[in-house]
Structure formats: structure tokens, C-alpha cells
Structure 1
Amino acid sequence: MTESDLAALTATDAAARIASGAISAEQYVRACLARIEAVEPEIRAFVHLDPGYAIEQARRLDDHRLQGKPLGPLHGIPVAIKDIIDTEDYPTEFGSPLFAGRRTRSDAALVAKLRAAGAVIIGKTVTTEFAYFHPGKTRNPHDTDRTPGGSSSGSAAAVASGMVPLAIGTQTNGSIIRPAAFCGVFGAKPSRGLVPRTGVLPLSPTLDVAGPFARTLPDLALALEAIAGYDAGDPDTRPPFAVPNFRAFAAEDFPIEPRFAFIRTPAWDKAEPATQQGFEQLADKLGENCIRIDLPELYADAWDIHRTIMSAEMAHNLGTIVDRGGDGVSEVLRKLVADGRAVTAVQYQRARDEAREMAQSLEGYFEHCNAIITPAAPGVAPMGIDATGNPVFCTLWTLAGLPSLSLPLLSDEDLPIGVQLVGAPNDDARLLRHAKWLIGKVAQGPKKEKRRRSK
């Protein structure tokens, strides 16, 4: 196998080959590092990378296997980590020069889980400033003149460009689903409380979640299974329980054909014509397996409710940093903090109550369907790298705390359009099974290889 062939392996395939001894963890990591060396100068997905240290981790894992010790499901698999997630062996700088060189003494809970599963923590990926809207340096692998999305821009681009098979991001509005859609990869925003956020920069604890990016659905399930679970440091995680076998659900055939609801939210007019046409055609293709629903206008308040909660909580968590940061803080973040400080306690509590009521009312739609289909973003990745795109199609589902996936099933002129699949509360495992069925239904022969464009 050539280095290119090795780097192209999925995490699932590579883990099986490493476990069997067909390849070594070091070989696989070296192949990924060679791919990084080839494309990173153009894509700029990483903020911290130490090839020597990555190889050292791989060698230790190879020694572990040769000693006959038990192997984790990610043994030898390189995983990239968003730069708002603490790692004891790499700096965590929050995408801000104010925290250049910041070090922590421990891993975030989800990073510790990855290491326990045998992963190689290969480096830290670019985030927007404090995971908000001010963009970083990363370029979209499909067209370097376009945004990769945000805030998990580096994680999505690293996976999409073949540098790593898996990466971890976070979402407070649309920061996993949107970049996954723009970069044409799979992304999972788990149910709130499934993945611990201990050691992750808190922005808006009511809304924050962490989740994986991958190039295949089985790989997405593999990563999700590794990072899910209880942690005492995160009060939103559920008491200790057996993590569902996400890999089994992602591989399982549906016992009966699922039913989907193609939902047009009050933001439907924000979708580009190609997106609207693509989703109408997708609903037609699903036929009797799909119902069409237009959400009533009472849901139009979701975007203001989300903004109220997010701005107030981010002002609480980041306000002191903004005050002390001077010119080192972007104007867009300053405005958000100012808006958050203007939110009264009554407004904040009312918004929290309205969010809960809205989430409960959305649960009723799952009495008529197994999962919801809706756009992941207005369209393809916009031109320009000075913005990260509009998260308008993620806001409602993030506010409700529902699990969602971005599936690279549609395209416009060879650029990806993400299909967002939304599940019932805490139904993350079965959502993967719904996704498998949908992918099989949509597939029409071999997928055309995307071409990367630049000037």
C-alpha cells in the first residue's frame, strides 16, 4: 500500500488493519502526516502540529499491541482537536492572540476518552476567535476562495482534505453542522448531555455541545461512541449509563422503512434556489417515506430566543476577557458581549422558558416521523474568507437540544450542499440508522469525486 492509499483509509478500516497487524499505527500516522505536509500550506487547518510527537504516540501504541494488551476502538487513529478544547500536550489558545501559548495541566474529558480508546491526538485545529464569528485562516478544500464555515473550520477542513480521518468540533449555533456542510463531510451535533464538555471553553452552557467530523457514517459513529458518556465535571451529562453501540446502529438495516418529515422552517426563504430545488427533489425521491411540513410562524421567535440566551451567557463567560483584551478582541465579539450585558434577568429567564416550551412542542412532530430533513446551510459555501456563513438553518435545532447530522448528499456545480437530519431527543443512536437508510436511498451509482479549486 502506498502512503496515499494509507492516508485515504477510513478510521474504521485503518483501526481494523492496525489491530490485525496488517499495518502499524506508525505507518498510518506517517501517511497522514505526509498528506498534511502536502496540503496544509494551502488549507491551513492546523494551529498546532508536532509530527515527531504524533509518531512517538503511534510507536507507543504499536508497542502496546505487540505486548498483547487490549486495544481500544480507535487504536492508532489520528484525531484532530478544535482549539477551544483542552489538551495537556498542545497549547489551547481559543483562536485568540490573547491566549497565545496557553497550556493546561489536563485533557478535556472528551480528549481523555479519545486517548483511552487508543487515538493519536495529532494536533489542534483552527477555530474562529473564541468560537464565534471572527474567522481564522482556514480555507475550504473544495475551493480555497470560499469559507470553510465556522467556528469548527479547521476540524471540518482537515477531514475534508484527507489530512485526518476524524476531528472534533463544538457547536453553540451552527458550528459543526455548517462547516460539515460547506466542506462536504459528515458531522454530528449530539444531544445535549451526551458528550461531556469538561475542559471545553464555555460559551453558552445552555447551548454548547461537542461532536465529531468524519468522511463516512461508520467513522462518525466510531468517534461518537468514543467520546460519549458521563463526566462529573459536566452537570448536563446524564448519570453513568452504558453508551449505546453507535457503530452497530450505523451499520444496521432498518427493520421497517423509516418515515421522514421534510420541514421548512420560517427561515426557508433564506435557502438559495439550488438548495430549495434540491430538497424538493429529495422529498420527491423519498415518495411515501416523506411528508412535507411548514412550521408555523410561532417558531419564528426561535432565532431571537437563541440570540438572547447565547449573548447573555457569552457576556457572562467572556465579558472580562473582552474588557481586558483591548485591540486584541474583534469588534463582532465586542458587540455580542455588549448585547448580552443589555439582557435583563427577566428577559433571560423568559427566553429559557420559551426555549424549553419550543423544544417540547417540536417533540410532537416525531409522532409522525422518525427524523426531520432540513437544510444544513442556505447553500454552498459562500465566496470569501472574511465571514463564516449563515447558521440560520441550525439555530432552531440547537436551541431545542436535538441531535442532528450533516450528510453530504446534495451538490450544486460540484460544491457540496449538506442535508441536515434531525432526531428526537436523545435518539442519537437511531438517528445514525435513519441516516444509513437515507444515504442508501439517495445513492445513485458512484459518487463523483469533488475537485479542489483555487486561483
Structure 2
Amino acid sequence: MAAKRIPAADPAALGAREAAWRIAEGAMSSAELVAACLARIDAEEERVQAWVFLDRDKAMAEAEERDRRRKLGMPLGPLHGVPVGIKDIIDVKGMPTGNGSPIDAGRMPLEDAALIRRLHAAGAIILGKTVTTEFAYFHPGKTRNPHDPSRTPGGSSSGSAAAVACRMVPLAFGSQTNGSVIRPASFCGTVGFKPSFGAIPRTGMLTASQSLDHVGLFARNLEDMALAEALMGPDGRDTGAGASPGPLTATALSEPPVAPALAFIRTPAWSHAEEGTVAAFAELVAALGDRLDDVELPEPFARAYGWHRAIMTAEMARNLGHYVDRAPEQCSDKIRDLVAEGRGVSAPDYLGARDMAPVLRSSLEALFDRFDAIVTPAAPGEAPEGLESTGDPVFCTPWTYLGLPALSLPLLAGPSGLPLGVQLVGAAGQDARLLRTARWLVRLLNEEVPA
């Protein structure tokens, strides 16, 4: 019997998981979904400027092929027929990867990144490339915040966060070396997920800092984050990639056996929290009551910021310095200053910073024996006004340094009514537990994360 068609009022408003289900059931075609996303881009792109490259014809052709496969009864992946956006530091064969720099403008990769190969295997359709800051660092691109175009969307995964926020695409991918997924997710009001370090291989992606770079993703609901399990696991080429921290769907979409315990950690960066953030988190703490304990980190965590900085600047100088050497006039002051700083980091300081990450990570084992997740801000406040800055990643730094899985949930609002992300951080390799805890928190607060 043919599946009953249940039309969506606006296919572009669907989350990735529901869209894939509708396509698989025949309630909607992939071609309808891709066309709806392209129409949404036509309506919003001039205002938001999330994309650096779109391949409309190829996307529609691939959607029609996905629909043909379904009609023939062929096997379907978990993202069958779902369009996705890709940050423009990730190679897609047949699409330019410019790394946010005029130096690499028009560069055409010869092969797909590992992430792209896995997305194709899962049935996804690559709609195009989203705007990144220059070399995934601080110099902003053209993207505006969908909630207020006079404000930053955050960075460095600016276009991916903005595209998901204004329903141009249900799922998009970015990277995080400091706060480049969690911060823009907070500013744009999406769910952002930075899995454990090495969960998704980085082969075919611009290397900024091999010790810190993570692949991350953006969606409009929490349940869609479990789809990342199809992308996880080593690929044999990224030496930093490890075992998949899954299965995500079976755990993340289940109910916790008991109500999870949460640790509220202000972090040594609490002085950076804006007044509206302090007030919003005071209300959150009150709402959670005895489900949340106030916890202070040991003193060495205050030095994690300097250790992270030493690693990041030294490795980015090594990996990106050649751009500054051969075309300094085409590099921003931010990149030139970064490379100069990184070249000044001594070997003892760099190696010492590397050595301290596993020490701090192991010191948290007792905390995660007692608590299911850490609660902390995703950013100091709402998206800052102006477009010359992408905001401060200070609330993301220690968790990126330690390679811990983190989520930003759009559960709070600031004094201007703009999103404030609640960041949840889990134990290394326990991404499924983190997602399940986050789902419990969303339900407890009776807040519907936009779908």
C-alpha cells in the first residue's frame, strides 16, 4: 500500500530527521524539500548572506535521483534526500573551497573530504558552501545575524549557523578550534553540537590546529544531532580521529534511567558574562533547584586559557604561516598578528600546554562520576552589535582545549530578546549521554527547541 502523503505547510521548516522520514515514507519528495530550501534562500540571502557558493542545478538533479532510488525500493540512508550546508573550509569535489580568503578563491578540490563522503553515503545532498571567517579565525565574513542583521552571527562557522537559523537548510556543518560552533549557535538561536575530539574525521578540511580542530554541526532541534552518528569513526587518514562515541540515536532519544544530575560551573571566565546573562542563568539555576549543584573548578583550570592559546597560535602559525609569507597584503591584520604570535611560542611552552590537557581531563573524571553534564553559558551574552567582531569564545575555550563534547541549546533570551545559549558539556567520549541529558533538560524546562 502506498504511504499516505502528509504535506508539510513549509518543507523548509522541517528538521533533518523528520524530513528524512517524510521522504522515506513518500509523504514528501526530496525535490520538494530542496526546492523549498532554495526558495527560502532566494527570500533571505540578500539580508543574511550565509552562502559563498550554491549549486542549484546539481542539488535538484541529486534530489530527483534520491527520489528515483526510493521509488525503486533501494536502501536509504538516515539523511536520504536531505540538503545540508558545508562550511567553506571543507572540501567538496566540484565546488570551490576558498577558506574565507582571497588567496584561495576559486580553489577546486580534487576529492571529497571524509565528512562529505559519509554524508553522501547517508543520502544527504550538498546544497552549497557556507561563509567562514578568514581561515576559520576571527576576521569576519559577509554573513549577518538573522535575528538582527546589524549584529554578528558569530564565527567562525558564521554561514552555517545563520543558514540553519533562518531555515535555508535543516542541517549544516562547521568546525571549532575555540568557540566556532557553540558561539554562533548561541548568537543565532540554533542547536549547536561539538562532538568529542576526533569523533568525526577531519580529512579534507583546512587544518588550523591539529590538536584542537573539531567538526561540528548545527540544527534546529536537539534530536537531529543524533544523526551525527552516521559520520563518526576513524577514516584511516586523520590521525586524531578516534572511535565513534555512539550509538547516539538509541541513547540520545531514550529516557534517562534516573533524572540526571547537573553541575553549574561559572568557569574562571564568569567576569566576562554580561548582566543579562548573569540574570538569565540565575533564573535557570532557580528553575532547576536541587537538580543542579554549584561547582567550582580547581585552580589549574584558570590556566587552561593560556595553554589553549599557546597550542592554537603555534599550530596555526605552522599551518597558515605560508599564506602570510607569500601574500601578506591579502591577509588580514588578525591573521598576520596570529602568525607572528604563534611563531614566538617556545617549544617548552607548547609541549607543556599539550601535556596539561590530559591532566585536566583526568581531573574531571570524579566530577563526571557524580554529574551527567556541566551547565555553563555558551557565550558572554547576546550577539554583539556591529560586524567587525565575531564575539568572545571565552566560555568555550576550556572545553575545546580538553576535547569534551558540548552543546548549545537556545533556551534563554537576553535583554534585547535575542538568543542566549545554554551550554552543556559532557565527559570525553560520552556524547550519547550528553545528548540524552540535554533532551531531558529541554523537556523539564517545558521549552520547545525550534523544529
TM-score normalized by the length of structure 2: 0.96
1:363-403, Cα deviation, whole Å (9 max, x unpaired)? 33212211000000001000001110000000000001110
Structure 2 counterpart of 1:279? 281
Q: Shift of residue 405 of structure 1?
A: 0.4
Q: How big is the shift at 1:2? A: 7.5
Matches within 5 A, 1:174-323: 174-222=179-227, 224-238=228-242, 244-323=246-325
Report what 1:172 is aligned to.
177
Query: What's the CA shift string for 1:169-202, capped at 9, x where partnerless?
Result: 0000000000000000001111011110000101
| Equivalent pair of 2:220/2:449 in contact (CA under 8 Å) | no
What is the DSSP-based 3-state SS (H/G/I as helix, E as strand, rest coil) of the residue aligned with 1:264?
coil
Kindly indicate whether residue 133 of structure 2 is the aligned counterpart of residue 117 of structure 1. no
Identify the match of residue 343 of structure 1 among 327, 345, 351: 345
CA distance in 2: counterparts of 1:398 and 1:163, whole angstroms = 28
Q: How far off is 1:442 after superposition? A: 1.3
- The match for 2:427 is 424
The residue type paired with residue 228 of structure 1 is M
CA distance in structure 1 between the partners assigned to 2:8 and 2:254 by the alignment? 32
Which residue matches 1:452? none
Amino acid at match of 1:231: D
Segments of structure 1 that go 5 or more residues without pairing to the other structure are 450-455
Rate the CA distance shift 1:326–1:40 in 2: closer, same or farther, 3 A: same
- Aligned position for 2:86: 81
- Match for residue 377 of structure 1? 379
* 1:19-34 superposed matches below 5 A: 19-34=24-39
Q: Secondary structure, in 3 states, of the residue corresponding to 1:294? A: coil
**Whole-Å separation in 2 of the counterparts to 1:448 and 1:27:** 21
Q: How has the CA–CA distance of structure 1 residues 118 and 340 changed in structure 2, closer, same or farther, with 3 Å as cutoff?
A: same
Q: Which residue of 2 aligns with 1:440?
A: 443
TM-superposition CA deviations, 1:384-441 (whole Å, max 9, x none): 0111000000000000111000000110232000000000110001110000000011
Match of 2:154 among 138, 142, 149: 149
Q: How far apart are 1:4 and its partner, in Å?
A: 5.8
Q: Distance in 2 between matches of 1:332 and 1:16?
A: 44
Is the Cα–Cα contact under 8 Å of residues 86 and 199 in structure 1 kept in the other structure?
yes
Letter in 1 for 2:113: A
* Alpha-carbon shift at residue 298 of structure 1 (Å): 2.6
TM-score (norm 1): 0.95
Q: Which 10-residue stretch deviates more, 406-415 or 244-253?
A: 244-253
Assess if the C-alpha contact under 8 Å between 2:7 and 2:27 holds in 1.
no
- The CA deviation at 1:347 is 1.3
- Corresponding residue SS for 2:238: coil
Distance 1:418 1:447 in 2: 11
Measure the CA separation in 2 of the matches of 1:425 and 1:229: 15
SS of 2:265's equivalent in the other structure is strand
Deviation at 1:447, TM superposition (A): 7.4
Retained in 1: the 8 A contact 2:221–2:449?
A: no
CA offset at residue 93 of structure 1?
A: 0.6
Task: Measure the CA separation in 1 of the matches of 2:118 and 2:450.
Answer: 35
Give how far 1:249 is off: 2.2
Q: Distance in 1 between matches of 2:191 and 2:450?
A: 16
- Does the 8 Å CA contact 1:186/1:407 hold for their aligned counterparts? yes
For 2:167 and 2:9, how far apart are their aligned partners in 1?
Answer: 10
Give the structure 2 partner of residue 139 of structure 1.
144
Over 3 Å off, 4+ runs: 1-4, 446-449
- Using the TM superposition, give the Cα deviation of residue 64 of structure 1 relative to its aligned residue in structure 2, in angstroms: 1.3
Contact persistence 1:266–1:296 (CA under 8 A): no
Which stretch of structure 1 is more off in the superposition, 207-216 or 291-300?
Answer: 291-300
Matches within 5 A, 1:403-418: 403-412=405-414, 413-418=416-421
Please, which runs of 5 or more residues in structure 2 have no aligned partner? 1-5
Query: Counterpart of 1:396?
Result: 398
